[in-house]
Structure 1
Amino acid sequence: MLLSIVTPFYNEEEAIDAFFSRLTGLLDRTLPAYDFEFVCVDDGSRDRTLEILKARAAADARVRVVELARNFGKEAALTAGLTVARGDAVIPIDADLQDPPEIIPEMVRLWADEGYDVVEARRADRSSDTWLKRFSAESFYKLNNAIAETPIPENTGDFRLMSRRVVDVINALPERQRFMKGIFAWVGFRRARVEFVREQRVAGSTKWNKWRLWNLALEGITSFSTWPLRVWTYVGAAIAGLAFLYGLILIVSTLIGGRSVPGYASLMSAILFMGGVQLIGIGILGEYLGRTYLETKQRPVFVIREIYGRGEGGQQEAAHGGAPGGAGQT
């Protein structure tokens, strides 16, 4: 049986040697009955990442390198890797090795021996992350799971094992704006969980700044919930109720105490408050409208420039375009 290890790479030249050294030694030692392929997706790296990966593919027939035409982002790179992977089970894992590959044998056992289609890796300890990152991640999971129809398991990333039929379902989904953690949860299937302690990066630095993490959180919330749209009905009803109550108070006070001179400060506060509320509502509508606009274009999630490595029959494979389900590949 074939296991596919799928890894997106973006400016990870310092981590490549440690990544392959740790994984190949571990997998050859602990899972000798399985064949492996390493699907390495270069997401438009600007350093020597692609060059080093191509050298790996030339030296090891198990390594296949997918070169994207530009930087499409991690979600698109992961989608490309799942599309190209041929394994009976597929294991996405990051190149920084913060998710320890030592739990892969247990994941494979739960899949092969106990019949689970998905084996999630849950971070039992995130002390290696900063306080701000831990707090923001916890807040996102709580908010998302409170409003989304399909909750995302807390402290689970992309690192997991998925059976072939799960991967086929994910590849068949037509949506272009992809939040992979939500998609992994949405497809369902029988699931197990393995816990681990998150480690420090083996080399290099993270490519996720606060702004990108914020945009990813917005992507997740708007991809799997319409609650941000629905809530403005209740906000409007509440403000209308307060306005009606305030109008009654003004009428009663005028009948009892006579006419009062309206205050400039209170008037401006009301105008600015209502203007801000309306702009927030319009912004949320724009977020959903923008997502609809991007989906209607039907552009592929990624474009593959080339695939390096030996495919079936020992021939080098190549691809010049890509979309969910492998459209555009040759």
Structure 2
Amino acid sequence: MSVVVPVYQGEKTLPSLMREIAPFHVPSITPGGSSYAVTEVLLVFDHGPDRSADVIRELEAEYPFVRGVWLSRNFGQHAATLAGMASSGGDWIVTLDEDGQHDPSDIGGLLDTAMDQSASVVYARPTNEAPHGTLRNASSKGAKWLLAKVFGGENASEYQSFRLVLGSIGRSVAAYSGSGVYLDVAMGWVANRTATSPVLLRQEGDRRSGYSTRRLLSHFVRMVLSTGTRGLRVVSALGVIFAVLGVLMTVFIFVQRIIGGVSAEGWASTIVVILLSSGATLFSLGVIAEYIGVNVNMAMGKPPYVVVTDPANGPLGRKPTQNS
């Protein structure tokens, strides 16, 4: 089993997380009786603002099964997860966060669910509220509901960063996913069956969340665009709705004009119609532009991530020597 941990601000939380994972390097037995062992832990450095790089090197020296995966720059958690999955070699891949809210002892339960249900992807299903603010939790649930009901993301309500993936599936998806493809949507294209396993989320470690409102919104947009052309169909439906509203408004104004219920100028209704139609037009153009942008990036070959060697061991890490 390979464990992939995207690292952005892991200076304070990674050592304790590794102490929890280390006992599972020795073959262990799940509650359901399956045998497994964590053969490697891939810490994917995503160029965060703290000393995460130094901590990764220290953990590599302390644990022989820990390996750093070094990205060329900051690509984000999604890309870091893909890079770790592509670099893995286990029969199964587990992805979990660096902040400590995911308990490594729950990995056995995920594996039991996979074996019992012949599932190639198993998502952790929290039995408690995520350790975030009320507004963020509500926004997350609302976004997943909208993705599932409107944009066709069948398993969107199950998506979690704590997941167990069949190794061949995970590495294949990581290899072909373009810069605009969302990981969980891509796995849904090829996974035979997905399932969920109950877990209890813990409080995050002593660290500031790396997700701003802008990044969360970008995260949601990527999920929508990855679901296919459903977004364009929503735009088409929106156009039909506003066209119908325009006809109804025209009929209403015409009738009111005949019976004398509206003034001759009619500037108010004109402004309303202009604002509604222009707003719908601009929104539709924005959605279409996002789809075009995704396809342009993929056509240009923009990579979702680039893996390099540890900068400290390469040319950037060489110290100048003084000639004697």
Task: Tell me the TM-score range normalised by the shorter chain.
Answer: 0.7 to 0.9
Alignment match of 2:19 (pick from 21, 32, 41):
21
Give me the whole-angstrom Cα distance separating, in 1, the residues matched to 2:111 and 2:253: 71
Provide, for residues 37-85 of structure 1, a one-character-per-residue CA deviation record: whole Å limited to 9, x for no partner. Answer: 0111001123211111112212322011011111011111111001100
Provide, for residues 109-130 of structure 1, a one-character-per-residue CA deviation record: whole Å limited to 9, x for no partner. Answer: 4446774422221112115332
Give me the whole-angstrom Cα distance separating, in 2, the residues matched to 1:82 and 1:177: 17
Provide, for residues 219-248 of structure 1, a one-character-per-residue CA deviation record: whole Å limited to 9, x for no partner. Answer: 111210433322333333333334334444
Paired residue type of 1:179? Y
Q: Do 1:40 and 1:81's aligned partners in 2 also have CA atoms closer than 8 Å?
A: yes
Match of 1:328 in 2: none
Identical positions, percent? 25
Paired residue type of 1:236? G
Q: Give 1:141 shift.
A: 1.3
Alignment match of 2:243 (pick from 240, 243, 248):
240
Alignment match of 2:296 (pick from 290, 293, 298):
293
Q: Structure 1 pair 108/271, CA: closer, same or farther in 2 (3 Å)?
A: closer
Is residue 276 of structure 1 aligned with residue 287 of structure 2? no
Q: Structure 1 pair 234/163, CA: closer, same or farther in 2 (3 Å)?
A: closer
Alignment match of 1:132 (pick from 132, 135, 158):
135
Paired residue type of 1:164? G
Give me the whole-angstrom Cα distance separating, in 1, the residues matched to 2:57 and 2:147: 39
Paired residue type of 1:65? G
Alignment match of 1:195 (pick from 195, 198, 202):
198
Give me the whole-angstrom Cα distance separating, in 1, the residues matched to 2:57 and 2:313: 15
Q: Do 2:131 and 2:204's aligned partners in 1 also have CA atoms closer than 8 Å?
A: no
Give me the whole-angstrom Cα distance separating, in 1, the residues matched to 2:219 and 2:276: 29
Q: Do 1:6 and 1:91's aligned partners in 2 also have CA atoms closer than 8 Å?
A: yes
Q: Do 1:96 and 1:201's aligned partners in 2 also have CA atoms closer than 8 Å?
A: yes
Is residue 83 of structure 1 aligned with residue 81 of structure 2? no
Match of 1:219 in 2: 222
Q: Structure 1 pair 258/23, CA: closer, same or farther in 2 (3 Å)?
A: closer
Alignment of 1:1-330 (within 5 A): 3-28=1-26, 30-31=28-29, 34=37, 36-111=39-114, 115-126=118-129, 128-249=131-252, 251=254, 261-306=264-309
Q: Give 1:306 shift.
A: 0.9
Paired residue type of 1:57? E
Give me the whole-angstrom Cα distance separating, in 2, the residues matched to 1:258 and 1:28: 83
Q: Structure 1 pair 149/254, CA: closer, same or farther in 2 (3 Å)?
A: closer
Q: Structure 1 pair 56/127, CA: closer, same or farther in 2 (3 Å)?
A: closer
Unaligned runs of 5+ in 2: 30-34, 315-324
Q: Secondary structure at the match of 2:85?
A: helix
Q: Secondary structure at the match of 1:122?
A: strand
Q: Structure 1 pair 305/261, CA: closer, same or farther in 2 (3 Å)?
A: same
Q: In angstroms, what is the RMSD of aligned CA positions?
A: 2.8
Unaligned runs of 5+ in 1: 309-317, 321-330
Q: Do 1:123 and 1:196's aligned partners in 2 also have CA atoms closer than 8 Å?
A: yes
Q: Secondary structure at the match of 2:197?
A: strand
Paired residue type of 1:178? V
Give me the whole-angstrom Cα distance separating, in 1, the residues matched to 2:239 and 2:159: 36
Paired residue type of 1:300? P
Give me the whole-angstrom Cα distance separating, in 1, the residues matched to 2:69 and 2:183: 19
Q: Do 1:169 and 1:187's aligned partners in 2 also have CA atoms closer than 8 Å?
A: no
Paired residue type of 1:6? V
Q: Structure 1 pair 240/106, CA: closer, same or farther in 2 (3 Å)?
A: closer
Q: Structure 1 pair 235/190, CA: closer, same or farther in 2 (3 Å)?
A: closer
Provide, for residues 200-232 of structure 1, a one-character-per-residue CA deviation record: whole Å limited to 9, x for no partner. Answer: 112312111222111111111121043332233
Give me the whole-angstrom Cα distance separating, in 2, the residues matched to 1:107 and 1:173: 25
Q: Structure 1 pair 252/263, CA: closer, same or farther in 2 (3 Å)?
A: closer
Give me the whole-angstrom Cα distance separating, in 2, the residues matched to 1:154 and 1:199: 20
Deviates further, 210-219 or 241-250:
241-250
Give me the whole-angstrom Cα distance separating, in 1, the residues matched to 2:69 and 2:274: 55
Give me the whole-angstrom Cα distance separating, in 2, the residues matched to 1:259 and 1:73: 56
Scaled by the length of structure 2, what TM-score is found? 0.85
Q: Structure 1 pair 127/252, CA: closer, same or farther in 2 (3 Å)?
A: closer
Q: Give 1:91 shift.
A: 0.6
Q: Structure 1 pair 237/89, CA: closer, same or farther in 2 (3 Å)?
A: closer
Q: Do 2:242 and 2:280's aligned partners in 1 also have CA atoms closer than 8 Å?
A: no
Q: Structure 1 pair 287/56, CA: closer, same or farther in 2 (3 Å)?
A: same
Q: Do 1:18 and 1:202's aligned partners in 2 also have CA atoms closer than 8 Å?
A: no
Give me the whole-angstrom Cα distance separating, in 1, the residues matched to 2:228 and 2:240: 21
